[in-house]
Amino acid sequence: MRDFRCLHCGHCCRMPGAVWLKDEEIPQIAEGLGLSVHDFTDQYTRLAPNRRGLVLIDAPSGACVFFEEGRGCQIQAFKPKQCSGFPLEWRNADSHLTCAGLIALRPT
């Protein structure tokens, strides 16, 4: 897996699920967007289904609110650890079928 290289396919940004935010990530993302913590959490987060933290909201398409087709992640420089950890630190059972970087590593 050391040879993994993100090909910016955006699949991970469109997967169903939630992007969990760690407490320390919230002010970093807010600052990166030029927002107060209050404005960031009000505009871009919601309470997690288990009510144990905040998650990013989804765009109407179901993708991450910060993913733009053709432009990619709009918070790349300060994105959450969950995002930067994919797929080396975690992945779904079917990620190898759709992530372009993982597909490229499969033997042909």
Query: What is the pTM for the complete model shown?
Result: 0.86
Q: What is the number of H-type helices and E-type strands within the chain?
A: 6, 5
Is residue 6 assigned to a domain?
no
Domain count across the chain: 1
Say what percent of the chain tops pLDDT 70: 96
Q: How far, rounded to the nearest angstrom, does the alpha carbon of residue 16 sit from its chain's CA centroid?
A: 11
Residue 89 lies in a domain: yes
Residue 4 lies in a domain: no
The angle subtended at Cα 77 by Cα 99 and Cα 67, nearest 5°, is 50
Residue 68, domain extent: 11-105
Write the pLDDT tens digit of every residue in 61-79.
999 999 999 999 999 999 9
**Looking at the domain assignment, is residue 1 inside a domain?**
no
Question: Which H or E element spans position 20?
Answer: strand 20-21
